[in-house]
């Protein structure tokens, strides 16, 4: 047992009343073991604080790594998508709906483009069709598709014919949506009314065959009475070993069976006014 000076912490022999170093009065007896225990407790507390700091640091570092890995994954996926899109356009070297007379033109039974494509036009039958316009959908340049009907058809026209055209008010129809050059519609009323409506409408993809028609067709609007004269066609294109085929829109030749018609349009009548050849 020793006496430890509370003033200077000097160890004094047991039985001393005054500190040999600072001459302070020794009033309490503090054992060496008690001091060691106090020191050990202090070290333990400091160790816990240090360990907690290191743990929190590790947690923050781990969270940072997780966020970095997620960002890297998203970046790689976006880069892959961009490469696919760019490669698609570079490979096909064809950029969508063009302007008649500038981007494409006709020579005989073939359609030529300013960037080297030649499309063969196969006649699938004569077209002489009339009806009321139920809806239209126009297309901008550069659609993400290589189908010829999209390349040269700036507008789709959803038409009703026969009694649908003559008495449209009897058919309370709604256009649900246009997507991928297809139209979805519904019709209220009786089952008979709905069935008649759906069997007497058609979606036509229009390829203007001359400049006047190419301009007039874009003025068509819902409610117009129109007559379409031309040919149902199928297209296939070649350019330096690359090919494009109208596989998605091979034309139907019988309006009303819920399939699409691809029409090379020679003349167009809108509300009694004629355009074209």
Token readout for 270 is 């809108």
Report the C-alpha dihedral over residues 270, 256, 160, 189, rounded to 10 degrees. Answer: 180
Report the percent of the chain where pLDDT is more than 90.
30
- Check pLDDT > 80 for residue 201: yes
Q: Rounded to two decimals, what is the model's pTM?
A: 0.62
pLDDT at residue 163, as a whole number: 96
Residue 199 has pLDDT above 80, yes or no: yes
Check: CB of residue 165 under 8 Å from CB of residue 131.
yes
Q: Is the pLDDT of residue 92 over 80?
A: no
pLDDT band at 58 (very low <50, low <70, confident <90, very high): low
The whole-number average pLDDT for the span 48-71 is: 61
Q: What is the mean pLDDT of the chain?
A: 78
134 has a pLDDT exceeding 50: yes
For the beta carbon of residue 263, count every other beta carbon within 10 angstroms.
24
C-alpha to C-alpha distances, 259 to 55, 201, 237, 250, 253, nearest whole angstrom: 67, 10, 23, 10, 9
Mean pLDDT, to the nearest integer, of 156-169?
Answer: 94
pLDDT band at 148 (very low <50, low <70, confident <90, very high): low
- Given this model, what pLDDT does residue 240 score? 82
- pLDDT at 245 exceeding the cut of 50: yes
Q: Which of 55-64, 139-148, 178-187, 215-224 has the highest mean pLDDT?
A: 215-224
Q: How far is C-alpha 235 from the geometric centre of its chain's CA atoms? A: 28
Q: Between 215 and 255, where is the model more confident?
A: 215
pLDDT at 100: 83
As beta bridge partners, residue 161 has none
Q: Give the lowest-confidence range in 20-24, 62-66, 98-102.
A: 62-66
Structure confidence at residue 50 (pLDDT)? 55
Distance CA 185, CA 96 (A): 27
Bridge partner residues of 262 (DSSP): 205
Alpha helices in the chain (DSSP H): 32-92, 148-152, 163-166, 191-199, 211-216
Between 92 and 74, residue with greater pLDDT: 74
Closest CA to 225 of 273, 169, 176: 273
Q: What are phi and psi of 56, to 5 degrees?
A: -65, -40
**Which pLDDT belongs to residue 46?**
56
The pLDDT value given to residue 219:
94
CA–CA distance, 24 with 45 (Å, rounded to integer): 31
> What's residue 224's pLDDT?
97
pLDDT at 55 over 70: no
Return the pLDDT at 44. Answer: 58
Question: Has residue 122 got a pLDDT over 80?
Answer: yes
Given a cut of 50, is residue 248 above it in pLDDT?
A: no
Q: What is the CA radius of gyration of the chain?
A: 42
pLDDT bucket at 40, cuts 50 / 70 / 90: low
| Residue range 86-112: mean pLDDT, rounded | 68
């Amino acid at each position: 047992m020793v006496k430890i000076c509370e003033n200077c912490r000097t160890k004094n022999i047991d039985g001393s009343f005054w500190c040999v170093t600072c001459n302070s009065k020794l009033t309490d007896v503090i054992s060496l073991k008690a001091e060691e225990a106090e020191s050990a407790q202090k070290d333990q507390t400091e160790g816990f604080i240090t360990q907690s700091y290191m743990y929190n640091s590790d947690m923050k570092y781990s969270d940072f790594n997780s966020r970095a890995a997620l960002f890297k994954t998203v970046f790689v996926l976006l880069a892959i998508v961009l490469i696919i899109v760019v490669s698609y356009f570079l490979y096909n070297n064809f950029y969508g709906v063009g302007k008649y007379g500038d981007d494409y033109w006709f020579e005989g039974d073939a359609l030529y483009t300013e960037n080297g494509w030649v499309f063969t036009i196969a006649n699938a039958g004569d077209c002489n069709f009339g009806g009321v316009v139920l809806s239209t959908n126009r297309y901008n340049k550069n659609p993400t598709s290589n189908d010829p009907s999209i390349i040269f058809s700036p507008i789709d026209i959803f038409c009703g014919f026969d009694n649908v055209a003559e008495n449209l008010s009897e058919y309370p129809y709604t256009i649900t949506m246009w997507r991928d050059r297809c139209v979805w519609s519904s019709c209220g009323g009786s089952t008979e009314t709905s069935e008649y409506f759906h069997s007497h409408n058609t979606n036509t993809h229009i390829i203007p065959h001359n400049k006047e028609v190419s301009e007039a067709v874009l003025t068509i609007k819902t409610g117009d009475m129109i007559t379409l004269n031309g040919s149902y066609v199928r297209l296939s294109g070649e350019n330096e070993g690359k090919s494009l085929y109208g596989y998605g829109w091979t034309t139907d030749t019988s309006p009303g069976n819920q399939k699409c018609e691809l029409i090379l349009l020679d003349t167009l009548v809108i509300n009694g006014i004629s355009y074209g050849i």
